[in-house]
């Protein structure tokens, strides 16, 4: 496949046509590959044999198929090849490519008929595939042209084909009259006819074209006639009728025909090739979309599975079953179904089911469905169900990198901090073990988010472990200020004063790189908060050295400085310092008043702030009261963090 892919891409980029020999060689290669063994339902190890990958490449090749320069025999064979691939596995892109080929064939009309006359005697495979594709896609004119050609050149075609052509070219009439007309043809051309073959050809052409109902009068009477003549209804006939009913989204007819086949002791498992399996899978999908009662759906699914022996259902059926199970929150049943129907893959295997490549779009749909449920289901307080389902995804799939961060956020926001840490470890381990474009290192955004979350929620183990990872992570710039501030913030929240100070000093706060300071206003605010946890003298010393860092106080910094005073029980000094705000072009705001009040550790100190505010900032105080922004102290610790960018906004959340 790689060779064909390389040649096709090179020709496309250099505007070189692909010749008949290329298409013929490609088709020969694929057909020989599956000559002895059918494709695996979920082939993830040998991508050469992955049916989705083959379908994708075949669809891409259609765009390089020059209809005017390629021989018609090549075009017809390529159509048949495409039709075969569709018959074993649904693929929207390939169906679109098939229509492109059929549109061309429709445009040349009768010019096509001579190609079929040059087939090897007794080989009508090109005709079969062309007719099937035309009927499946609803083309009406060209089938009539081809069948008229059969009658005009009868010596080149089988008797069964001639009977089929005569029957289909009958004028439209009700199904009973149509049966009687077909019966007359059968009586006239009975000599040398293989009854089983002609029965199937008649069922196929009338049912697939939509001229008769798959379970109507014509099919019933024709089947009865042949049954009476000793011809048992073959599996293929039931398959044709069920396929037609499924195409019409007719659940009642599909299930009825399937039940008839079971009651007639048709052994589906004897024909569990890819084409038959596709019909059974499509029937499961139809049931998922049309059966309202989940228990009835399970019973019907079990009945179909019995006919599939040990073959797993395909990805489309798995996805629809999963969708229905998750809708009713049968998460455990869904997981068991995944274990039963998807390949058994060891947890540590590097080779897993691909979901990020274009050909793997169907598997990506299943992954997205399960992943979205895992990070959105909220009907369980512990979120253990979410975590179990999320873990299962890693057993089966190459998890897309872009899906990690939403999961980290979900579990962290629900208090499952260890889960977020485990996900982070997984990203790191995959990168260290198999680093490439599919296994990227943790992003800066992940580090920043987790430092903030773990620090805010006092998850010391998480902060320390991620910090250790950061020390050896060469993918991130060393002097990223946002990242460094998030790390400072995390240790500050943990009240690790010494650690925070060491990290601050390691940032070279008095050094400039390319004319820019290595710290900013947020860094200063974090350090003021950190030293507040220690003692007021450290705060004052740091404040007096701000000019050495090239940082002037802004509103947030000054407010943090005031918080340190009220926190340590000096409300009068804090209110006195507000008079210095004007020196920096700042003024007392509602946020200032609220911060001074809320971060007092004692109610007595709060009373002093209230008295000051009433005397000097009565409107700001009343506004804070009206908005219910003020929190009475419990004489122990403030309820909020010492670090607030905007107190009004934070309290009102």
Residue 636 binned pLDDT confidence (cut-offs 50, 70, 90): low
Q: What is the dihedral of CA 327, 332, 333, 339, to 10 degrees?
A: 120
- Tokens encoding 189: 């051309």
DSSP type of residue 234: P
Rounded CA gap, 182 and 184, in Å? Answer: 5
Residue 66 belongs to some domain of the structure: no
d(CA 373, CA 329): 10
Q: Do the beta carbons of residue 562 and residue 599 sit within 8 Å?
A: no
Nearest to 54 by CA among 104, 121, 4, 98: 4
* pLDDT tens digits for range 469-496: 999 998 888 778 999 999 999 999 999 9
List pLDDT tens digits, range 285-339. 999 999 999 999 999 999 999 999 889 999 999 999 999 999 999 999 999 999 9
Rounded to 5 degrees, what are φ and ψ at 401? Answer: -55, -40
Structure tokens, 549: 């860092």
The answer to whether 389 touches 331, Cβ cutoff 8 Å, is yes
Q: What is the mean pLDDT of residues 536-562?
A: 94
What span, in angstroms and rounded, lies between the C-alpha atoms of 57 and 359? Answer: 8
Three-state secondary structure of 548-582: HHCCCCCHHHHHHHHHHHHHCCCHHHHHHHHHHHH
Backbone torsions φ then ψ of 353, nearest 5 degrees? -70, 125
User: pLDDT tens digits for 61-103?
Assistant: 999 999 999 999 999 999 999 999 999 999 999 999 999 999 9
Whether residue 649 is predicted with pLDDT greater than 50 in this model: the reply is no
24-41 confidence digits (pLDDT tens):
999 999 999 999 888 999
Domain containing 642 equals: 553-653
The percentage of the chain sitting over the pLDDT mark of 70, rounded to a whole number, equals 96
Sign of CA dihedral 290, 295, 297, 299: negative
Residue 30 has phi, psi (to 5 degrees) of -65, -45
Q: What is the DSSP letter of 71?
A: -
Place of tokens 């290192």: 441
Separation of alpha carbons 165 and 204, rounded Å = 12
Residue 628 lies in a domain: yes
- Confirm if 149 and 113 have CB atoms less than 8 A apart: yes
> How many whole angstroms separate alpha carbon 518 and alpha carbon 419?
33
Of the CA atoms within 13 Å of residue 270, those in its CB half-sphere come to 7
Nearest Cα to 158, choosing from 220, 200, 212, 108? 200
Block residue for tokens 């979410």 = 386
> How many separate domains does the chain show?
1
Mean pLDDT of 275-287: 97
Helix (H, G, I), strand (E, B) or coil at 516: strand
Cβ atoms of 44 and 50 within 8 Å: the answer is yes
Question: Is residue 650 predicted with pLDDT exceeding 50?
Answer: no
User: Model-level pTM?
Assistant: 0.91
Residue 142, both tokens: 């060209």
In this predicted structure, the answer to whether residue 621 has a pLDDT above a threshold of 80 is: yes
In a domain, 637, yes or no: yes
* Helix residue ranges, H only, 415-520: 417-434, 444-456, 460-472, 481-493, 497-506
Q: Is there a domain that residue 588 lies in?
A: yes
- pLDDT surpassing 60 at residue 643: no
pLDDT in tens, 250-262: 999 999 999 999 9
Domain membership of residue 653 (yes or no) is yes
Whether residue 564 lies inside any domain: the answer is yes
Instruction: Give tens-digit pLDDT for 458-471.
Output: 999 999 999 999 99
pLDDT at 479: 78
In a domain, 616, yes or no: yes
Q: Is residue 640 part of a domain?
A: yes
pLDDT of residue 192: 77
Average pLDDT of the residues of the chain: 92
Gap between the Cα atoms of 574 and 543, Å rounded: 14
């Amino acid at each position: 496949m790689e060779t064909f892919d390389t040649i096709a891409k090179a020709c496309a980029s250099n505007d070189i046509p692909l010749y008949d020999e290329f298409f013929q060689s490609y088709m020969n290669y694929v057909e020989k590959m599956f000559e002895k063994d059918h494709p695996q339902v979920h082939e993830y190890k040998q991508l050469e044999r992955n049916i989705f990958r083959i379908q994708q490449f075949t669809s891409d090749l259609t765009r390089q198929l020059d209809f005017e320069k390629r021989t018609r025999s090549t075009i017809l064979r390529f159509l048949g090849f495409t039709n075969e691939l569709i018959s074993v596995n649904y693929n929207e892109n390939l169906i679109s490519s098939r229509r492109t080929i059929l549109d061309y064939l429709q445009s040349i009309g009768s010019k096509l008929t001579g190609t079929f006359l040059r087939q090897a005697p007794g080989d009508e495979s090109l005709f079969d595939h062309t007719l099937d594709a035309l009927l499946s896609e609803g083309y009406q004119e060209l089938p009539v042209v081809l069948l008229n050609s059969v009658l005009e050149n009868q010596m080149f075609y089988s008797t069964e084909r001639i009977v089929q052509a005569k029957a289909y070219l009958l004028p439209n009439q009700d199904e009973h009259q149509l049966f009687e007309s077909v019966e007359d043809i059968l009586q006239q051309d009975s000599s040398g006819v293989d009854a089983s073959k002609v029965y199937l050809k008649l069922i196929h052409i009338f049912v697939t074209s939509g001229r008769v109902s798959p379970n109507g009068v014509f099919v019933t009477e024709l089947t009865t006639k042949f049954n009476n003549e000793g011809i048992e209804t073959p599996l293929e006939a039931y398959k044709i009728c069920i396929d037609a009913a499924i195409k019409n989204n007719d659940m009642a007819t599909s299930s009825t025909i399937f039940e008839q086949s079971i009651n007639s002791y048709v052994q589906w498992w004897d024909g569990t090739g890819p084409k038959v399996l596709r019909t059974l899978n499509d029937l499961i999908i139809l049931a998922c979309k049309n059966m309202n009662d989940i228990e009835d759906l399970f019973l019907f699914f079990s009945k179909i599975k019995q006919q599939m022996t040990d073959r797993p259902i395909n990805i489309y059926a798995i996805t629809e079953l999963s969708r229905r199970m998750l809708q009713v929150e049968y998460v455990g049943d869904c997981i068991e179904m995944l274990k039963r129907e998807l390949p058994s893959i060891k947890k540590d295997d590097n080779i897993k089911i691909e979901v990020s490549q274009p050909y793997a779009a169907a598997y990506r749909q299943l992954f997205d469905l399960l992943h979205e449920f895992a990070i959105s289901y909220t009907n369980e307080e512990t979120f253990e169900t979410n975590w179990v389902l999320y873990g299962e995804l890693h057993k089966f799939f190459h998890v897309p990198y872009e899906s990690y961060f939403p999961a980290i956020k979900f579990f962290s926001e629900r208090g499952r901090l260890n889960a977020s840490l485990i996900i982070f470890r997984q990203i790191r381990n995959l990168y260290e073990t198999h680093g490439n474009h599919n296994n990227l290192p943790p992003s800066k955004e992940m580090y920043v988010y987790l430092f903030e979350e773990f620090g805010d929620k006092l998850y010391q183990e998480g902060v320390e472990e991620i910090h250790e990872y950061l020390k050896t992570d060469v993918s991130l710039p060393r002097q990223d200020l946002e990242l460094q501030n998030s790390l400072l913030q995390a240790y500050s929240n943990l009240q690790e004063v010494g650690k925070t100070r060491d990290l601050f000093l390691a940032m070279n706060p008095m050094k400039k790189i390319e004319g820019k300071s290595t710290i900013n206003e947020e860094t200063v605010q974090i350090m003021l908060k950190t030293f507040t946890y220690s003692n007021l003298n450290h705060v004052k010393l740091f404040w007096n050295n701000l000019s050495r860092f090239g940082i002037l106080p802004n509103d947030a910094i000054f407010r943090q400085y005031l918080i340190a005073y009220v926190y340590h029980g000096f409300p009068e000094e804090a209110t006195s310092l507000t008079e210095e705000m004007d020196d920096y072009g700042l003024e007392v705001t509602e946020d200032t008043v609220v911060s001074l009040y809320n971060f007092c550790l004692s109610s007595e100190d709060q009373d002093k702030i209230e008295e000051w505010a009433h005397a000097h900032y009565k409107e700001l105080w009343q506004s804070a009261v009206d908005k219910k922004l003020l929190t009475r102290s419990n004489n122990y610790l403030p309820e909020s963090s010492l670090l607030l960018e905007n107190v009004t906004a934070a309290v009102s959340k």
